[in-house]
Chain A
């Protein structure tokens, strides 16, 4: 067999007739994209009488006899995806020192003897004020029975009808945080607030009413929701 070395270019025609091909796939990249997405925090809240339906927003303390306190309680159910949780505020809709008033404006309002609860700077970041046992106080006081994060100052009891193991504060006259939960919760969380009411022996008989409003605020971007409880 005779082998002839063919020099390319000597005959374009010869090359075009005789060449076959081998080819490899080429690749390009990788090219990368760094993705970023931010998930908005959302929050919703429903407050209702403890253990009752969402629509049950009234608490009836019943009839109070001086020296024998009566109790009520409410739940605030909060759903939020906030990565840092939320804080819950309460305010006395009747203003400072008088949670229960005569709706007709005839009789003297019931005066709260406990100092209004004041957590400081409005977002629960400060220290929790000292609370006290109910003792012989009159008017309305509140405490927290259970919450996703319950401050120890409220005492150890988890039931509302308990004046021994709870510590109470006066219902704040301006919206004040009473609970701060600083963690993400995948499911609904509930704060149960207890109310206590007693009157002096001289308190004029009659019907008194009041209301408190709750506001929940997400930690990350201050998304809020609001609800009220009447009594």
Chain B
């Protein structure tokens, strides 16, 4: 191998930093690790705060058909996100079989993420009879992937208002509904930066068959917001 080739490889190794994101072994967690060719000390001058990084001599964006490199200083953007619900309890009232009841939740997300955010929803289990612990009100048959116009029974939800509500949810009064899954699932994708809180209104609808055992049913629904970058 010629000296020129060896030198080229060495330069590549030195110049290209290696990024390891979210490395964890259960004990330690490295959120972002930049293994560059040198290191630096935290520097503060009252205006800027540069933590433990060093620049690569080549600055800029390199692209080809299949690859893209970003060269230069590395810094981490710590975007923030907060989720607030209008209430942590929801009483759907008393359902007479065949006459569905509705209720709403307003989820307010505040984030500085330039890409927006996603809202996820899940339930711990179907609505379950509080006395016998086994009888359930089935989840509505529609899915988040393919919500359907209300028909039948169960507990379902739709998105009635918000930024960038997907067309699949329909519009009032012709909304489409989905059952609430038991695993966190994205149901709303809001793109782009928004200054201040962004509201998403979720409507729940519940109906039961005439044979549904009377009594009180409960479950817990969980919302999570994830920023998009």
A residues neighboring B (CB under 8 Å): 1, 3-10, 12, 15, 17-42, 79, 81-83, 184, 186-187, 218, 220-221
Identify A8's interface contact among B49, B105, B107, CB under 8 A: B49
A7 to B57, CA, bound (A): 15
SS class, residues of chain B in contact with chain A: strand
Given A20-B70, A24-B31, A38-B95, A32 contacting B222 (CB threshold 8 A): yes
A-B contact count (CB 8 A): 215
A139 to B48, CA, bound (A): 105
B residues neighboring A (CB under 8 Å): 11, 14, 19, 21-22, 31-32, 34, 37-38, 40-41, 43, 45-50, 54-55, 57, 59, 61, 70-85, 87-97, 101, 105, 107, 109, 111, 113, 127, 129, 131-132, 137, 155, 204, 206, 208, 210-229
Report A-chain residues with C-beta under 8 Å of the C-beta of B81: 26-28
* Nearest 4 CB-CB pairings of A with B: A8-B50, A9-B45, A8-B48, A41-B214
Q: Are A33 and B46 in contact (CB under 8 A)?
A: no
> For B14, B72, B73, which residue has the most chain A Cβ atoms within 10 angstroms?
B73
| Smallest CB gap from A19: residue in B | B73
A26 to B59, CA, bound (A): 27
Closest Cβ of chain B to A224, distance in Å, is: 15
Report A-chain residues with C-beta under 8 Å of the C-beta of B80: 26
Given A32-B222, A39-B212, A40-B214, A24 contacting B131 (CB threshold 8 A): no
| Smallest CB gap from A28: residue in B | B83
